[in-house]
Amino acid sequence: MKQQSLASQSAFEKYWRKSRRKLFLDEMEKVVPWSGLEALVRPHYAKAGKGRQPVGLSIMLRTYLVQQWFNLSDPGVEEALYESAALRRFVGVDLGVAPAPDETTVLRFRHLLEKHDLGGLMLDAVNVHLEARGIRIQTGTIVDATILHAPSSIKNASGERDPEMVSSSTEKSPLCIA
């Protein structure tokens, strides 16, 4: 492992605990088949040439997955990498050595994956890997189904206005001058 710069050190912090984000990233580090995903993308990824050196494939792949997991835009994932030490450590960005991938680099990587239909292949590879280890991922929506018992009208059975059922729009607010 390469030596980390002083910018990536958190040894000066006296109090800390693992956040939910950090716990999630630790789990993803263990369960995602990183070498398999890199092998899928590597044939299509930019090679070093005369121009600007490409960002490492591992960094871009992890940045892409962070973007998907946390529902971040291209500029949003760039910003998140600068704001979160946990994300930087997971992705492999050391700000003492190199900047985080910028939004244009993230966009180009995402377009590369789309162009070669690698997103579906990557998802299949992850699902096969997880199933082989007995892990099943499901998505769904949690709905807060609180039931409130309230009359549907402010009028009573005789059609008259019930004085106990006053609409908030008809009440005078103590701050209202009328």
For 78-109, the pLDDT digits (tens) are: 999 999 999 999 999 999 889 999 999 999 99
**Residue 166 token pair:** 């006053």
pTM value is: 0.67
Residue 163 lies in a domain: no
Residue 159 lies in a domain: no
Residue 114 lies in a domain: yes
By percentage, how much of the chain surpasses pLDDT 70? 68
How far is residue 122 from each of residues 31, 33, 42, 175, measured CA to CA in Å? Answer: 14, 10, 12, 58
Residue 107 near residue 89, CB atoms below 8 Å: no
For residues 7 and 116, give the distance between their C-alpha atoms in angstroms, rounded to a whole number: 36
Residue 63, domain extent:
13-132
At residue 164, does pLDDT exceed 70? no
Residue 171 lies in a domain: no
Gyration radius (Cα) of the chain, Å: 26
Segment 23-52 shows an average pLDDT of: 87
Residue 138: per-residue pLDDT: 64
For residues 8 and 139, give the distance between their C-alpha atoms in angstroms, rounded to a whole number: 34
Segment 160-177 shows an average pLDDT of: 57
112-130: pLDDT as tens digits: 999 999 988 988 888 888 8
Residue 156 lies in a domain: no
| More confident call, 12 vs 81 | 81
The total of structural domains in the chain comes to 1
At residue 1, does pLDDT exceed 50? no
Residue 178: per-residue pLDDT: 46
Residue 3 lies in a domain: no
Question: For residue 161, what are the β-bridge partners?
Answer: 155
CA nearest to 85, candidates 76, 96, 94, 75: 94
Residue 77 lies in a domain: yes
Residue 153 lies in a domain: no
CA nearest to 110, candidates 98, 94, 122: 122
Average pLDDT over the chain reads 79
At residue 173, does pLDDT exceed 70? no
